[in-house]
Structure 1
């Protein structure tokens, strides 16, 4: 349009469409202006109502948590601890740098809310379809810790943002950092960096090294997950991420980051803490997912049975080979965890090997191989030939280098014959075996190459024991849990566990066939040392070069799993699943079930009337055969042959004869 056209004529020629768009734009601008003015007013009013700095310095009462056993016995009381308040000038500069680098890199220029971080987190969450990334600044976290809860709602996020903007208007950046570092929760009941430093390292935060500061800075993201009291290895790994982030931000040079030796940091552990803390630490992590209550004292009733816990501690402590660690977990067939021991001594190592350690299960993984075969139509009485086999260049070997020819599945499972397990896995498909393990709750990465049939992939003791519990439960899913009920100290019910609708994992006849195989392994096979004079099913596992020993088993009343090995994965001389782990299992189950009437295992498969004599896991995964153990003879096998095979072995304690 000619610029010389009068404005009134130009507007007339624009027509109704132009008038509407102009009106809409004006309304949107007015609405935006009102929102901005409303936000400014809300921030101003909030800033005026904020407590003074001195009032916010006062340590809160904090929340105490009483954890009780199933019978109401108090196990521990976890309460907050507060160290000395450190002024900004007393806080080590590398502590401040580590915290801002990992939690809020743009802290020094944003007004309390970081639009870049918020947009990035929103985009990541939209892509994932769930919350995978947070965009809260340090100021927002402080606002949440001081005035709000952790409930994930839009209303709370809006109030958090307004509070953060108000705090930034009222206080300086230095004051905000001082408040934050003295008030934020770092796990293990520690609030503030001084309490955290004293709890985890045994000294004031004024003396924090760079490596120690990186550990503390890494805890804020998930205190229960990364706290050294819960998982020292994970705390160190998280600290390395913090140091890398500081390097990426230009705060540290690569040489400075490399000189911060996280592995050399030593944690201070309270020697008064008993081994039940393995269980209570696990429960505290579970508690965070069950309630948002963050101020009222809590009473938590758990599934732990004191007699079972006492039996588990005695069994583990009395049978660990020199230099080895051990773990045991017990549960009922509804997933109720009744006992847990995660190591030789909680006071010297809080690392929970029952829950966090990932180790190769060896022949204990054959559960999934045989389940896949049974589901594909085989039965315990079907015959497979024990002979040399090879799969794509991989050749499984029986430890004694012997082959017995035709053998039933029952006999092969009882003796833990590797070549048969490999053939069954190849017949059903190695992917099928991995899928079966996933179906039964194994979440660790699984390598689907042929060696999966012999337990080459890693699992956790808790997950593997849960899988065996599902067989004891007739093929129905079992989800382990530790908390029955959560109430406030005044009696208000916050959480009660309700029975879930479990999935049927395999048909009942498959579970019954599998139970028959597991029973054969105990009564006539590699697990004989675990026998307790009542119906029992279970399986041994031994990994290459005697690095890990396992026994997982169950009666109708109780399921338990045992792992023994070294944290550095070095060989343990004489270790085999049928020796120390089976004996530990026997000691635990014998004590835990004392006085409990014996039930009958659910199996429709008749037991083989002929002895299936094993060789104390000579068919395991060890690299070299023990020349002192005689090779399996031709049929018939005899009780005397097994006794000779076990004689002279470190693990060959006298085996009680089956009643």
Structure 2
């Protein structure tokens, strides 16, 4: 038995203490540096996790109508709960098996990678964790240099110190590049498989999880064999990680996967509408314009994709491709002000100029309902009589104005207000404007929502001052909505990539006229399609009345350069303008027919699946049967009759004294037909 001497023990202890002191001496700087590093990352705090994301626009029923891509990249942010567990398991297995057990750095992998680099004499193998890769995606360039690695370590430490593992994994899955311009698992899932990330199968997930290793090399579109080899590696890693068994791996590998290879978003619909929404985002919603470009917002709009499709269809069907005439069109819900469809031109690709919101054109006779609303408030009734004949109006000795009816046709006798509206008599309108005071028309138009500049002049009654399609449609919505105006609304709410609502717009209602006046005005505008009001010419809506199968009101209007119609049911208001961009005169035989045909076909199509609704009659309105020509109560002497509505107390009390006819229900033959030659009669019929 060997005896250990005390001196030997002392010598051994001396050497051991020397090693301990040496170790402490060299370890102290490392400990100090580590402490400084911890203090440093805590002082810096959590790094911002802002990532360029694609902003998506939704229509009604959450249907996607378009997108705004940052720098031409597809990026969609989804929560971890909206990602298939298969893609989560596959990603962790192949990228970072010990993800939940480390604090941002996998030291075993680092050591292995370091040995491989030393043997190769170069940087050949990576050991980055998901956290490190996430920090690289957010803040750094992909160069494999030691300085970049050091910065990556700092960012990774800050992320680990301030965010949960779920936050990190969610961020990684939403920022990793999957090839073909797709960043994030949602964009990649939509692109490769045409489905959301939540619906990915095990086979699809294992194929997708292998792509980030080499987005070009492992793309199943460019090289399916490479992608399948990589899928096998992913599945083996999942088996090794215990999230699937061998049998599941084999089945997943053998399961055929359909590769689509394009984003599942539809071809961009309603480009003009989307432009208007982006303008609101940048200028009215209080959002930083830079954030709009890369914020990944989910914008829930008022657009109805089905109605938009119908609007586009009837514009395309009605106007020949050979014509250079343009169009502006808006369809709006009068109850909410929600813009349901918008056409800003024939081709957004050829011209992004929005003729529905940006253009200002003379509205012609579509402006007359504002005049007659003011007149009703001043005591006019549907039976008010004025003479229709060539008339010159004077403003001083030198300034004279002589309005003309279309085609220079006149009744040359008194006509009722109801007839004046229906046949669009210009002389009646100018007389009324002067009688009630030209300021009254300006005030009423402004009250109803016309924001364009107006002048209190006699000719304003004929719509000589330019206005926009949207403001005209919005103003008409007052009549359809019992005197209440709902401000036009394009956006219901905006949600950021985290799911927080950052902007919301409710319905903004304002009562601008009494319900009685709105209802009586609507009844007058229904007469535009009622041939019982024919007089010296046909009612202006005669040519499309066959397409109207429910209570509908409206007004046509035209100038030498513009053709309009704005009309409505209780559920929908639509306005259509057609004309040339640069003041070209409308062609007599073709151009003047487009707006009415687009409007009538669209309204019939748009309302086809909706129940027939009546305009609700408010208290303070009475209906009586009157003779259309005289405006007096119908009787056996004037049996032709039409139910007409009046403000209570203003309805006629006298009976007509005309001659009886053999057929009381016979539609009146326009007097103009009796006075005109055959060509003028054909021309008049064509236009109406």
Shift of 1:496: 2.5
Q: Does 1:590 align with 2:604?
A: yes
- Structure 1 residues 209-220: aligned runs within 5 Å: none
Among candidates 49, 63, 75, match of residue 73 of structure 1: 63
Among candidates 528, 539, 546, match of residue 555 of structure 2: 539
Partner of residue 614, structure 2: 600
Shift of 1:648: 4.8
Tell whether the 8 Å contact from 1:486 to 1:493 is kept in structure 2 after alignment: yes
Residues 495-520 of structure 1 show CA distances to partners (whole Å, capped at 9, x for unaligned) of: 222233x3221111111111011000
- Structure 1 residues 430-579: aligned runs within 5 Å: 430-500=438-508, 502-524=509-531, 525-531=539-545, 532-543=548-559, 545=560, 547-574=561-588, 579=593
Q: Using the alignment, how far apart are the partners of 2:311 and 2:272 within structure 1?
A: 12
Higher Rg of the two aligned structures? 2
Shift of 1:62: 2.8
Closer, same or farther: CA 374–78 of 1 in aligned 2, 3 Å: same
Closer, same or farther: CA 284–462 of 1 in aligned 2, 3 Å: same
Q: Does 1:363 align with 2:335?
A: no
Q: Using the alignment, how far apart are the partners of 1:639 and 1:277 within structure 2?
A: 44
Q: Using the alignment, how far apart are the partners of 1:411 and 1:608 within structure 2?
A: 15
Partner of residue 377, structure 2: 375
Q: Does 1:652 align with 2:686?
A: yes
Partner of residue 319, structure 1: 318
Residues 24-81 of structure 1 show CA distances to partners (whole Å, capped at 9, x for unaligned) of: xxxxxxxxxxxxxxxxxxxxxxxxx99xxxxxxxxx8434210011111111110222
SS class of match (1:485):
strand
Aligned length, in residue pairs: 389
Residues 179-234 of structure 1 show CA distances to partners (whole Å, capped at 9, x for unaligned) of: xxxxxxxxxxxxxxxxxxxxxxxxxxxxxxxxxxxxxxxxxxxxxxxxxxxxxxxx
Closer, same or farther: CA 369–350 of 1 in aligned 2, 3 Å: same
Tell whether the 8 Å contact from 2:489 to 2:507 is kept in structure 1 after alignment: no
Q: Does 1:292 align with 2:287?
A: yes
Structure 2: segments with no counterpart, 5+ residues: 1-42, 45-49, 74-265, 395-399, 532-538, 630-665
Residues 479-501 of structure 1 show CA distances to partners (whole Å, capped at 9, x for unaligned) of: 1111111112332122222233x
Partner of residue 304, structure 1: 303
SS class of match (1:400):
helix
Tell whether the 8 Å contact from 2:448 to 2:475 is kept in structure 1 after alignment: yes
Tell whether the 8 Å contact from 1:299 to 1:486 is kept in structure 2 after alignment: yes
Q: Using the alignment, how far apart are the partners of 2:624 and 2:529 within structure 1?
A: 12
Tell whether the 8 Å contact from 2:579 to 2:591 is kept in structure 1 after alignment: no
Q: Using the alignment, how far apart are the partners of 2:682 and 2:426 within structure 1?
A: 24
Shift of 1:401: 2.6
Q: Using the alignment, how far apart are the partners of 2:478 and 2:590 within structure 1?
A: 25
Closer, same or farther: CA 424–462 of 1 in aligned 2, 3 Å: same
Shift of 1:292: 2.4
Residues 429-487 of structure 1 show CA distances to partners (whole Å, capped at 9, x for unaligned) of: 11211111111111111132211111100000000010101110111122111111111
Shift of 1:640: 11
Tell whether the 8 Å contact from 1:528 to 1:578 is kept in structure 2 after alignment: no
Tell whether the 8 Å contact from 1:516 to 1:607 is kept in structure 2 after alignment: no
Q: Using the alignment, how far apart are the partners of 1:640 and 1:315 within structure 2?
A: 34
Residues 570-590 of structure 1 show CA distances to partners (whole Å, capped at 9, x for unaligned) of: 112126997321111111111
Shift of 1:636: 8.7
Q: Using the alignment, how far apart are the partners of 1:274 and 1:640 within structure 2?
A: 51
Tell whether the 8 Å contact from 2:65 to 2:269 is kept in structure 1 after alignment: no
Q: Using the alignment, how far apart are the partners of 2:626 and 2:671 within structure 1?
A: 17
Closer, same or farther: CA 508–82 of 1 in aligned 2, 3 Å: closer
Residues 368-404 of structure 1 show CA distances to partners (whole Å, capped at 9, x for unaligned) of: 1111101111111121121332222111122333332
Closer, same or farther: CA 422–506 of 1 in aligned 2, 3 Å: same
Tell whether the 8 Å contact from 1:548 to 1:576 is kept in structure 2 after alignment: no
Q: Using the alignment, how far apart are the partners of 2:679 and 2:60 within structure 1?
A: 44
Structure 1: segments with no counterpart, 5+ residues: 1-48, 51-59, 84-271, 613-634
Partner of residue 346, structure 1: 348
Q: Using the alignment, how far apart are the partners of 1:309 and 1:278 within structure 2?
A: 11
Q: Using the alignment, how far apart are the partners of 1:645 and 1:481 within structure 2?
A: 47
Tell whether the 8 Å contact from 2:65 to 2:305 is kept in structure 1 after alignment: no
SS class of match (2:409):
coil
Q: Using the alignment, how far apart are the partners of 2:409 and 2:271 within structure 1?
A: 46
Tell whether the 8 Å contact from 1:387 to 1:403 is kept in structure 2 after alignment: yes
Closer, same or farther: CA 650–72 of 1 in aligned 2, 3 Å: farther
Closer, same or farther: CA 445–292 of 1 in aligned 2, 3 Å: same
SS class of match (1:517):
helix
Shift of 1:650: 10
Tell whether the 8 Å contact from 2:337 to 2:486 is kept in structure 1 after alignment: yes
RMSD: 3.3
